Amino acid sequence: MKRVINAISTPLARTSAFYYFGSFVIVFSRYLFHLVLLRLLVPSEYGEFLSYLSLIYLLGIPMGTISNVVTKFVADFKGKGDLVSINQFFYFLLKVVSPISFTLGVILILFSNPLANIFKANSIAFIILGISVFISLFQSILNSYIVAFQKYIFQLIVGFVGVIVTILFSIIFIKFGFGATGAVLGQLLSGVAISLLIFAKLKQNIYPKIIKKNPIKFNLSGFTRYSFIYALGSASLISTDILMVRALFDSHLSGMYSSLSILGRMILFGLSPLISLILPVAAHRHSQSSKTSSVFLKLGLVILIFGLIGAGIFSLFPNFIVSHLSGNVYLEVAHLLPFFAFSMAFLAFSQFIIAYSFATNKPRASIFMLIATLLQPIVYLVFRSSLTNIVYANFSLLFVLFISLLTYLYSHRTSNV
């Protein structure tokens, strides 16, 4: 008992608990946004909105790549007290990533009409998404600095403000008849507000740019490659399925699948705050040649317990959860909710293992996620005969991913693990 009390009273345990429960409130608030949309939009319109959201996740892969890179390297710089590198790294990233962001945004705007036809959507929404790509780049870099600096209280405040702004603007635009496009526009304006708040907080660290005769050269090639794979997998495994179901099935079934997906993601996003802790904390310790095993074991155990409890509750009361959170119109697919819940739990466990591998300089673990990402669309095509079949197949795919990563981590354990 004494050892348990000592473990939960450490600074890491207190910080993790505070950050998790604060983030949980934010995650719940974000789900209120989706629950509001489920009530304001008919199933076909909600399926349209989640298709937009899934496309945002896929377009955000470069931003996700940068987020992992920034968190890892800035946490290392902070651990070493290297303020100059922290400053110059910000401008280096803008220079490298801006052309990619600009290209993606322009392509999305130019091809808005064909994309609207493919996904049975509004072309104006794709133009808005193209504009949001530019804003997402800046926001991703700034937010990753906040994570690397471990400014948890400010991160929670900004997150809550972002949710409130998103909900208010989205409701206003939907009431004015913009439908699913109004929700996309609300998210865009929220992103602008959040970026300005974070920049004001970080200004002393990144502005003005520190000029030196011999600027620092940052070598990101190896780590960035694996970070891209991780970002690709994390975004694709919760987005490609939505887009494929939207294309393969009718609008009604797409809406049904989308409602299950957003409920299942409550497990994944509920665990995300704890997953996000492992990279900056473990990387900071690793840069100082300190042991990281205790961080992994404590956070890993909490994630495992919370994930199993959450998925278990969803499995025991699927009809109650679907009817009260989504609405009675979605009850016809409530029996599939347990498979979605455990699928997202397995994905959360997998992300945690990969993030820890990144922190301890073993990024090759992300290869397993790449394999799962490539297999997912093939699996959906093979099992497209029914919605039930593809849900079962996706559950099996993510379970195998988790077991493979667990086996890999155990077989590559070192003195730091």
Q: What is the pTM of this model?
A: 0.67
Q: Kindly state the average pLDDT of the residues 22-40.
A: 70
**Cα–Cα nearest to 394, from 331, 354, 341:** 341
Compute the Cα dihedral for 164, 166, 172, 174 and give only its sign: negative
The pLDDT of residue 36 is 73
Q: Kindly state the average pLDDT of the residues 48-56.
A: 71
Residue 179 pLDDT exceeds 70: yes
Least-confidence region, from 248-252, 384-388, 394-398 = 248-252
The answer to whether 223 and 363 have CB atoms below 8 angstroms apart is yes
The answer to whether 26 and 102 have CB atoms below 8 angstroms apart is no
In terms of pLDDT, which residue wins out, 13 or 195?
Answer: 195
In terms of pLDDT, which residue wins out, 53 or 314?
Answer: 314
**Nearest 5 degrees, angle CA 84-CA 88-CA 90?**
125
> ω before 11 within 30° of 0 (cis)?
no
Alpha carbon separation from 271 to 24, 160, 300, 303, 311 (Å, rounded) = 8, 17, 11, 6, 11
CA 115 to chain centroid: 23
The answer to whether 170 and 189 have CB atoms below 8 angstroms apart is no
The pLDDT of residue 22 is 67
Q: Kindly state the average pLDDT of the residues 406-412.
A: 83
The pLDDT of residue 417 is 44
The pLDDT of residue 284 is 67
CA 177 to chain centroid: 29
- Range ranked top by mean pLDDT from 41-45, 225-229, 279-283: 225-229
